Amino acid sequence: MVHLEAVQASNRSIASIFGPGLIAVFVGGTSGIGETTLKIKAECKALNSDGEYIFIKKDTSLLRNVDLVCDEIKSKEKSINLLFLTVGTLQTGIKTEEGLHYAAGLVLYCRHRFISNLLPLIQVAPGLRRVVTTFVAIMEGTILKDDFQLWNRNLMRYRGHAASVVSLALEKHAKDAPEVSFIHNFPGGIARGTGWILGSVLRGVYGLFGSLVHMPFADAGDRHVFLATSARYPASGMEDQVDGVPIADGDQVAKGTDGRLDSGLYSIDMFGESAKPEVYEVLEKYRKEGMVDWV
């Protein structure tokens, strides 16, 4: 486990390591969009009055909207240091206007499209170049080729499928952009901001057991900032270059999804640690079957 004190110490060094001008894109749903947006922008301004904070409202379950958002971003920015993806839902059985399963549209297709569209800007960014997608890392398992979008199955029950698809899609991007670091992480349960995406039955279950599995909201925030900025998770093609806040003496970089150190793609648990060897074996099996290109 990466201890919280080490996480917070690393985060305190961000400004001195990177300096001003970092550009980050966050893609994720909000409950009560207007109220949430005003609150987030106010908090950001209070922390850094010199920063610029732009909110773009779109239904990103539709790929045409993803393209519109990306076009708007590309019209304003020449580079991006960080793409952070949390968009998703546990609602199942809904078909989008484009014919996709709503859950798969958000978790699989939307995220993949954002990365594909914005990767050229990330590749040319000075210093930090990173993509973080928050979902069900470390749970990689069997891929169901006969029901890729999980139309007939529960997303969380078959999370091994979803985890493998997300990680393998990231692997394709990592091959195409070795100068970019890619992280698929599992956030665990968080004390605030989770229940809104659950159905009524699941909300009841979470209400009963959530306190047993969650981490405090502020701690989760600290850990995700660490994921986004620490040199513990470097790109494979960034030797001798600034690729995050330096790790402490005695620590080492994380193992990637192929079991190697600093491989450029990482499946990470809620405490910042790499997946178990079983995950490497699952993904290696699918690599040999050509699934990196298939997904």
* Tokens 């050229």 found at: 120
Distances (CA, A) of 182 to 9, 141, 148, 234, 257: 22, 19, 23, 8, 10
Main-chain dihedrals φ then ψ at residue 145, nearest 5 degrees: -65, -25
* Tokens 């400004």 found at: 15
* Phi-psi group of 266: left, alpha or beta (phi > 0 → left; psi -120 to 50 → alpha; rest → beta): beta
Question: Identity (one letter) of the amino acid at 201?
Answer: V
The pTM score is: 0.89
CA atoms within 13 A on the CB side of 105: 20
The DSSP code sequence of 87-123 is ------S-B-TTS-BHHHIIIIIIHHHHHHHHHHHHH
The residues, ordered by sequence, that sit 6+ positions from 54 with a Cβ below 8 Å of its Cβ are 76
Q: What 3-state DSSP class applies to 213? A: helix
Distances (CA, A) of 237 to 2, 32, 51, 80, 208: 24, 41, 30, 17, 46
> Which domains does the chain possess?
4-290 (3.40.50.720)
CA atoms within 13 A on the CB side of 282: 21
pLDDT average per 10 residues of sequence, the chain (295 residues): 94 91 85 58 83 90 97 97 89 90 90 98 95 94 90 79 95 95 87 43 41 71 94 82 83 93 94 95 95 88
Question: Do 12 and 282 contact (CB within 8 A), yes or no?
Answer: no
